[in-house]
Amino acid sequence: MTRTLLGAMLALCCSTAARAQNPEPKKETCVACHEVMPDGPLADPVKAFGQDIHSAKGFGCAACHGGDGTDASMGAMDPKKGFVGKPRHQQIPVMCGHCHSDAQFMKRYNPALRVDEVAEYVTSVHGKRLAQFDDQKVATCTSCHPAHSIRPPSDPKSSVHPLNVSKTCGACHAKADYMASYGIPTNQLEKYEQSVHWKAISVRHDLSAPTCNDCHGNHGAAPPGISWVGNTCGQCHSVMADNFAKSRHAVVFPQMGIPGCAACHNNHDIQATSDTMLGLGDGAVCVNCHTEGSPGSAEAVAMRRGIDSLRMDLDSARGLLERAKNAGVEVSQAQFDLEGAHNALVSSRAAIHTFNVATVDTAVGLGRTITAAAFVRGQAALGELRFRRTGLAVFALIIVVLIAALLLKIRELEPHTHDHTDA
Amino acid sequence: MADSFSTKPTPRRKFLDWLLGTSVGGLAAAVLYPATRYLIPPRAGESSAATVTLPLKPDDIAVNTGQIFKFGNRAGLLIRTSNNELKAFSATCTHLGCIVRYRPDLGEIWCACHNGHFDLNGRNVSGPPPAPLEDFTVNVRGDQIVVGKRT
């Protein structure tokens, strides 16, 4: 089968060599006939091709389909002129790779574009099944980059724009009947769309958040194995990955056949983390392996206790300073300094991945020192506020008494004036 | 004639009564309103200060170093780049709000909490930060460095 693939590559290389060197920006004769055909597989490609990146770059039909685009007769589609028509499934990566694997050629159009797509593809599960079994259902180039309407990944309408990648993969992987013969789950898309990563992309429009290809690769798509799932997550979550790599769990998990990060965070339906995941209570993931009373569970509880104490101290100090600030007392320096405790809390949560109580306690201790100082400053600020309010109340009382005294004096004077007038 | 004088107030007296009555009310309002507003102040939002003069002189910050400064109650980061250019950003990481710092060895802004990296335009270039840092304007006026929010 590999020979067949190589043969197809050779044939396509010969057929497309001429146009690769000289793309034809002018209208080809193919369009004149195909655009007036009834809607269907012979006309639709011509109508869609106007929006294709290749069309914008000046390529025409013959660039992929071969033949003679200048010949207005049926002779244009002579196999002797390199015409291949609709390429077979196995021919597609070869056809696209003819240009896309040629670094020198691609530089003329996009110097930053990778040229290892086909090299990666043959290492993918898709590429291997295509080469070994001539599997007609596996993805090739045009499964993800729809032929005749290919847009660059930066285009929001592109099938490979970060917002659309999961739908593109899901077009096959979420179809239970289509995937039945492969015996793999088909709920990945459904789970992914409940994940914190999908929310980051779809709600916060954070296009750097991962979608399918960021963990599985795109052209070299394959499921991350147990041994390197941490490396996958560690592309972004490097501090946690480093901490985990130095931990006892990094040794034990592979022995037990447990996938690193996914053991606690799952894989496709990764949720936002919370402190409740740590310890033995509701929502805790430690209990999946550690039974209550075991040394591991005691360490989990100790780490949780430390983090809870810092979080509560931080909330308390923040609340105190916020009350003082809202009451008009200047506490911006204390609030500024308290940010260090927030740093410590975030760092202590990252330190959980060392699974070492002492490491977590170090970060917690630093944070609690800062919160204690902030708490004292907050209490002093509220003490000052109380003093000012008391002073104001006394002042207001004096004014009221003074007004009352003035009124009484006026009333006392009025009869005397009246009597004097009468007299 | 005498009866009508004792029972019917003249317009002038009515006017004086009205004037005194409203004056007392105005006086009471003038005293009580500010006192009430003082005792129940409005909820203060984020510091609205648009600029801050740093307690630093331009010469205090060496080439290829960074300095955290206070901007309202939040942290800012002033950097003198290796090209001798002063730049300032919010020092609050856009991931989980840790304080970032300048890494002279990398020439980048770095968040230690989750190893987030930002370039010297504040753009998130590596790690989990989802957005760039807010960048501030920097103006040197004699011996003073004035940092401000962009409008």
| The pLDDT of residue A10 | 42
| The pLDDT of residue B34 | 73
Q: Nearest-CA distance from B109 to chain A in Å?
A: 16
State the CATH architecture for B51-149: 3-layer Sandwich (2.102)
Q: Which residues in chain A are closer than 8 Å to B74, comparing Cβ atoms?
A: 336, 339
Q: Which residues in chain B are closer than 8 Å to A209, comparing Cβ atoms?
A: 130
* B49 Cβ under 8 Å from any chain A Cβ: no
Mean pLDDT of A386-407: 83
Q: Which residues pair with B101 in a beta bridge?
A: B110
Of A142, A140, A194, A130, which is closest to residue A166 (Cα–Cα)?
A194
Mean pLDDT of A261-284: 93
Of A83-97, A224-238, B3-17, least confident by mean pLDDT is B3-17
CA distance B119 to B121: 5
| The pLDDT of residue A2 | 44
The DSSP output letter for B8 is S
| The pLDDT of residue B47 | 53
Mean pLDDT, chain A, whole residue set = 88
* B43 Cβ under 8 Å from any chain A Cβ: yes
CB contact under 8 A, A206 and B131: yes
Q: If contacts are CB pairs under 8 Å, which of residues 168-207 in chain A contact chain B?
A: 200, 204, 206
| The pLDDT of residue A23 | 52
The pLDDT tens digits of the residues spanning A175-198 come to: 999 999 999 999 999 999 999 999
Q: Nearest-CA distance from B127 to chain A in Å?
A: 4
Q: Which residues in chain B are closer than 8 Å to A343, comparing Cβ atoms?
A: 98-99, 112-113
| The pLDDT of residue A61 | 92
The pLDDT tens digits of the residues spanning A34-52 come to: 988 988 889 999 999 999 9
| The pLDDT of residue B72 | 87
Q: Which residues in chain A are closer than 8 Å to B70, comparing Cβ atoms?
A: 332-333, 336
Q: Which residues are CB-contacts of A168 (< 8 A; sequence separation ≥ 6)? A: A144, A159, A160
Q: Nearest-CA distance from A161 to chain B in Å?
A: 17
Mean pLDDT of A161-173: 96
Between B77 and A19, whose confidence is greater?
B77
| The pLDDT of residue B35 | 74
The pLDDT tens digits of the residues spanning A339-354 come to: 999 999 999 999 999 9
* A326 Cβ under 8 Å from any chain B Cβ: yes
Question: Are A66 and A16 within 8 A, CB to CB?
Answer: yes
Q: Which residues pair with B143 in a beta bridge?
A: none
Q: Where are the domains of chain B?
A: 2-39, 51-149
Mean pLDDT of A61-87: 89
- Provide the ipTM: 0.70
CA distance A208 to A158: 16
Q: Catalogue all structural domains in chain A, each as residue range(s) with its CATH number.
A: 1-150 (no CATH), 151-223 (no CATH), 224-272 (no CATH), 295-386 (1.20.140)
* A33 Cβ under 8 Å from any chain B Cβ: no
The pLDDT tens digits of the residues spanning A293-321 come to: 999 999 999 999 999 999 999 999 999 99
Which of A325, A336, A347 minimises the CB distance to B74?
A: A336
CB contact under 8 A, A238 and B127: yes
Q: Within its chain, how far is the Cα of A132 from the centroid?
A: 34
Residue type at position A277:
M
CB contact under 8 A, B35 and A236: no
CB contact under 8 A, B130 and A332: no
* B39 Cβ under 8 Å from any chain A Cβ: yes
* B130 Cβ under 8 Å from any chain A Cβ: yes
Which of A328, A336, A392 minimises the CB distance to B75?
A: A336
* A347 Cβ under 8 Å from any chain B Cβ: yes
| The pLDDT of residue B42 | 55
The pLDDT tens digits of the residues spanning A192-219 come to: 999 999 999 999 888 889 999 999 988 9
Q: Count how many pairs of residues, chain A against chain B, have C-beta atoms within 8 Å.
A: 69
CB contact under 8 A, A239 and B115: yes
Instruction: Report the residue of B20, B27, B98, B123 to disrupt the A interface, i.e. the one with the largest count of A CBs within 10 Å.
Output: B98
- Residue B37, H or E segment: helix B11-39
Q: Nearest-CA distance from A227 to chain B in Å?
A: 22
- Look at residue B121 and tell me whether its pLDDT is greater than 70: yes
pTM check: above 0.90: no
Instruction: Report the residue of B113, B117, B118 to disrupt the A interface, i.e. the one with the largest count of A CBs within 10 Å.
Output: B113
Instruction: Report the residue of B17, B110, B114 to disrupt the A interface, i.e. the one with the largest count of A CBs within 10 Å.
Output: B114
Which chain B residue shows the shortest CA-CA distance from A243? B114
Mean pLDDT of A105-128: 93
